[in-house]
A = this chain, B = another copy of it.
Amino acid sequence: MSHLSETLHQSRDQVRSQDLGNQSTHTQLMEVMQRLQQTVEDYITQLKTQHLQPDLGLGEQRHSQAAREQEAILVRLMCQVVNLLQPPSPDSSGHVGGGQQAQSSRQPDQLGHHLSDLQATVVSCDLSTRGSDISALYHSSIQGYKTYQGDKYHEDKNPLGFINLGVSENKLCIDLMTERLSRSDMHYIEDALLQYADWRGQPFLREEVARFLAYYCKAPAPLDPENVVVLNGCCSVFSALAMVLCEPGEAFLTPTPFYGGFAFTSHLYSKVELIHVHLDSEVTDTNTCPFQLSVGKLETTLLEARLKGKHVRGLLLINPQNPLGDVYSEDALKEYLEFAKRYNLHVIIDEMYILSVFDESITFHSVLSMETLPDPQRIHVIWGTSKDFGISGFRFGALYTQNKEVASAVSSFGYLHSISGIAQYKLCRLLQDREWIDKVYLPTNRSRLQAAHKYITNNLKALKIPFLNRGSGLYIWINLKKYLDPCTFEQELLLHHRFLENKLLLARGKSYMCTEPGWFRLIFSEKPLCLKSGMHRFFQTLGEQKQDCTEKQQEDALREQTVCLLPSSSSQSHAGESLASASGP
């Protein structure tokens, strides 16, 4: 019996911890294949003889048990072959919101490590493969955030703590919100709030969400509370949608850069692949603004994906877009929806920032505002209060869909994603209080967002840092590629680390599946003092970085001079050019 087939009879733990590095992939592959062929041949022989001798009583039982054992061996052998044959993933150190693609379930998980990884990976004794993968991905992505959680900046109590301009939270109106949530109407308790409830969410909250969305999204007709499902956050809604719309390994199209939380979410449970429609920053005749989305790009990516045998079930859009801040025009939105209809795609549209369009010259168009929708049964809207009301700690996300089957299937997931009754009550009261929202909260929030945005953009302009000047969201998409030398994702990561060393969290473009290194998302919806300190650290970091770049360029130039034994300034002037050209678009 070969070395590898012996391992089949060892426990998984033994296999996992074993060093397979001494054998070449090819030798191992050949051994497994020989055993595979032998097992399959034996099995087929067995099937044949079983067919010829149908009624053997006890003998037959043993026979079928033996067959089952061989099936088990066969399955495991195949898992190994698949593992051995699979090329290493191009981005095995993905991040939450990093470029990871959900693993297809077609690829068996049981020994789901690539061989090359097997040599390097210290594998857990206790965790499943999927558990190890998820845990590794999560913890590698969340390190900066964890450090921040343990040492948060506070203007009085901890002015040297971490400042978080990386996670999209609106902290500008937390004073108003605290006051509103402290009023006596919020403290109401009744039996039903303390007990199990409708897994779709409490009826009173679903009714209020329907009214609220109809009003603020300017729906042409009342929205139906039966079309609302309330879960504990928008990623939970997305997780449930991905489960009920896709088989594992099926896919959604999504334009990049885009919100990385969906990528991490699909990795946790649903194993749905997100196929990226890569947008780029360069402005050309057809690309009239940076990162412009077009039906042509959607179509090309879809057809390429289909050619590769991918089963694309839907299109995932974010409007207002995160991290770009783009607000789709009504015409553009219609085109995307019509494209989806043409190809029988569902559209999941995340409208988390509908009340965070702070530039009054911009009109936001919700899909819920449209008189007619191209394919209303396949359009599913996600909204929540985390961003627009700055209360991400409430864990509230809502689905609105006219598709009863989808709403109904998603509600099954309420079993694992429901919200505290008391939080549902408070949310309902909050959404109900239009007087306060319209006269107090929204105007204040808008003017504070405007002021904070202006403060940051003025600073960015002063430093000649290119950015997308949009009027929505809580973030600015900025281009720091002139601080990267060379302009690679490795350097982007190093700059990200340098920000962290200066106790500043920013989110880097790679986490949004951006294909061009050097982009960062900077949150501006932070209290003024904190924002000011944050910008101080930001400029300090960039100063250090620039100093390093210059020193490096000088060293390179010196080295070149030494090597060539000729005086020349070509290297330096090239570097100068690249810095200059980086200040557009």
Contacts and interface: CB of A to CB of B under 8 A. Distances in A.
Contact of A195 (B26, B96, B129, B169): B169
Nearest to A129: B247
B196 A169 contact: yes
B85 A134 contact: no
A247 B393 contact: no
Contacts of A139: 408, 412
Given A405-B126, A416-B233, A149 B198 contact: yes
A420 B420 contact: yes
Nearest to A310: B72
A462 B288 CA distance: 84
A247 B85 contact: no
A416 B419 contact: no
Given A33-B40, A174-B194, A415-B265, A309 B68 contact: yes
Interface stretch (A184-192, A315-323, A512-520, A571-579): A184-192
A583 interface: no
A261 B415 CA distance: 9
A332 interface: no
A196 B392 contact: yes
Q: What range describes how many residues of A lie at the interface?
A: 35 or more
A72 B310 CA distance: 9
Nearest to A401: B126
Given A82-B74, A106-B76, A415-B264, A391 B33 contact: no
Interface stretch (A238-246, A333-341, A538-546): A238-246
A118 interface: no
Interface of A: 8-9, 11-13, 26, 29-30, 33, 37, 40, 43-44, 47-48, 51, 64-65, 67-69, 71-72, 74-76, 78-79, 81-82, 85-87, 96, 104-110, 112, 124, 126-132, 134-135, 137-139, 142, 146, 149, 152, 167, 169, 171, 174, 177-178, 181-182, 186-187, 189-199, 232-233, 235-236, 239, 243-250, 261, 264-265, 268-269, 307-309, 311, 313, 344, 346, 377-378, 390-396, 403, 405-406, 408-409, 411-413, 415-423, 426
